[in-house]
Amino acid sequence: MVAPRRRVRHASLYEPFGLAALEAGLAECALVLNDIPSLREVWGDAAVFVPAQDDHALSRAVNRLIEDAPSRRQYGRRARHKARTYTLTRMAAGYYRGYCGLIRKEASTSAGAL
């Protein structure tokens, strides 16, 4: 007996950042992503966006990049450039600023309680 075919989606419906996209971008791969706010915010013009859960749009976008080598290379370069901005140093600095802000807020709240 043959199992029925299932439709399999690999594009994320929820992705707070997108580590798989980051790895692909660092490898200079063109990105085709679901058009969800978090991915649009992270990748901007460095990716091709398709409506979420639209298998035909996803297929068309991937096939278009397969057939259009200059566009594929351009998106790959954009993705790599964008991916390289997400560094460990930048992440650590962001956490540091966040924690400093929390400490200042806690200190001012504590001082006001005295």
Q: Which domain holds residue 97?
A: 87-114
Q: Are residues 77 and 100 in the same domain?
A: no
What's the pLDDT tens digit per position in 47-91?
A: 999 999 899 999 999 999 999 999 999 999 999 999 999 999 998
Q: State how far the Cα of 111 lies from the Cα of 114, in Å rounded to an integer.
A: 5
> Which residues are CB-neighbours of 24 under 8 A, at least 6 positions away?
31, 79
Q: Are residues 100 and 77 in the same domain?
A: no
Q: Are residues 70 and 23 in the same domain?
A: yes
Instruction: Give pLDDT, residue 114.
Output: 59
Specify if 1 maps to a domain: no
Q: Are residues 70 and 95 in the same domain?
A: no
In the chain, the number of structural domains is 2
Q: State how far the Cα of 82 lies from the Cα of 44, in Å rounded to an integer.
A: 9
Q: Are residues 32 and 46 in the same domain?
A: yes
Instruction: Give pLDDT, residue 106.
Output: 85
Q: Are residues 27 and 72 in the same domain?
A: yes
Tell me the average pLDDT of the chain.
87
Q: Are residues 66 and 108 in the same domain?
A: no
